[in-house]
A = this chain, B = another copy of it.
């Protein structure tokens, strides 16, 4: 019989890169099994894979990976949205990236972990629901794949739960400045049945940022109006 306490919490596996807030783990596989790679449906180009996976949060982590991929010689292969968040109403994330060089991939995952910690500052979780925001001055491949962001343009993201709060945030953002919708998601459309309305916007940097900030203000007022203050698993940076 296996004794789990004989295993150390300081993981020494070569696959292990690190962990961070929101039950996020970063891993690398230096040479993925060929049969498994075929099943994964992410192409056969890369055998060095980086894995990034959280129980809670998606946009912050995808924005982190977006920056990490831009800064390294790696490519985003797949982004999935598990319906998770440890009992809250939202998503987790599961991201696969690839590269020709395992050290590039490892470096991208390390960057992703670091930036996730920063981006978690715009996640607000109360007794009743949650809000998530991100902003990128120049969207890359991960934000394009996940939310149809326009590459090279500013991108803003907002999610509110319960879903009704997300729609008021989206309406506020659209009225705040001239931005374009890149994605609109609801419990039945585009999400994995999460209790959220999500809006992605692109456009001029200052317009996108202003829209996200106005959405954040109304979102926080409504969420706090439900009776409790949110916890923030980081430091707000917007």
Contacts and interface: CB of A to CB of B under 8 A. Distances in A.
B216 A2 contact: yes
Contacts of A51: 164, 167-168
A59 interface: no
Contacts of A164: 25-27, 51-53, 94
Interface string A10-28: 1111011001000111110
A109 to B, nearest CB: 10
Given A83-B194, A188-B80, A168 B4 contact: no
Contacts of A235: 1
B171 A4 contact: no
Contact of A2 (B2, B194, B220): B220
User: Which interface residue of A39, A54, A236 has the most chain B CB atoms within 10 A?
Assistant: A39
A168 B29 contact: yes
Interface size class of A (residues with CB under 8 A): 35 or more
B186 A94 contact: yes
A187 interface: yes
Contact of A222 (B15, B92, B162, B170): B15
Nearest to A10: B225
B236 A36 contact: no
10 contacts: A1-B237, A4-B124, A11-B221, A23-B129, A33-B175, A35-B181, A53-B163, A81-B187, A82-B196, A83-B193
